[in-house]
Amino acid sequence: MTAPTPSDTAAAFERHDHSHCAGAVMQAAEGRARAEGLRLTPVRRRVLEILLEEHRALGAYDILDRLKAEGFGHQPPVAYRALDFLVEHGLAHRIRRLNAFAACMHPDTDHAPAFFICAQCSAVAESAATPLRDAAQAAGLAIGFTIERVTIEAIGTCPACHPGTAPSPQVPS
């Protein structure tokens, strides 16, 4: 419910009661929506739920497939609009490296996170990136560049996929 801690973030890579954590995030999102007067309509809510259920990054067309299976509209804008809404209000994040989207796991904190993407199992963890952003800010300052937003996305191997354990491959480098 508060700012993401390292152990928090690491949890993303571990087996956990996901329906529980997804439920908690959903509640936080609903809280935000109520507090800020956001309209968490059926499509939007369902898209967020789908992202939470998967707990990984999904492409817009993956989302769209599910939406149409559930009787929502079946054209790309249906998915893109819901995703745009969620991203715009910080309930989801866009992961450019993967051309995909993931639910925000800390929707109640105002943040600009870094992402850790496991190349083996495709899990994505979201982590506070304040030191990173400060370093970027400093580097920008040195060349007179004013930073508005920084994208920080790391590809690598998550703890669950390190030599020793051996999950299933899914994502290209």
The contact set with a copy of itself (CB under 8 A) reads: 6-7, 9-10, 13, 96-97, 114, 116, 118-119, 125, 127, 129, 131-132, 135-136, 138-140, 142-159, 162, 173
Does 165 help bind DNA (rule: CB under 7 A)?
no
| 18 interacts with, out of DNA, Zn ion, a copy of itself, none, CB within 5 to 8 A per kind | Zn ion
Q: Within 10 Å of residue 63's Cβ, how many Cβ atoms?
A: 25
Q: What is the DSSP string of 30-59?
A: HHHHHHHT----HHHHHHHHHHHHHTB-B-
Does 89 help bind DNA (rule: CB under 7 A)?
no
Q: Which of residues 32-61 bind DNA (CB under 7 A)?
A: 39, 41-44, 59-61
Interface residue with Zn ion among 21, 112, 119, 152 (CB under 5 A) is 21
Return the number of the residue (45 or 106) whose C-beta is nearest Zn ion.
106
Return the number of the residue (24 or 135) whose C-beta is nearest a copy of itself.
135
Q: First CA to last CA across the chain, in angstroms? A: 32
Quick one: which H or E segment has residue 110?
none
CB of 79 to DNA, least distance (A): 8
CA 44, 6, 157, 166 dihedral sign is negative
* Angle subtended by helix axes 60-69 and 76-88, to nearest 10: 120
Residue 95 CA from chain centroid, whole number = 7
H-only helix segments in 37-129: 42-54, 60-69, 76-88
| 21 interacts with, out of a copy of itself, DNA, Zn ion, none, CB within 5 to 8 A per kind | Zn ion
Q: Which residues bind DNA (CB under 7 A)?
A: 39, 41-44, 59-61, 72-78, 80-82, 85, 99-100
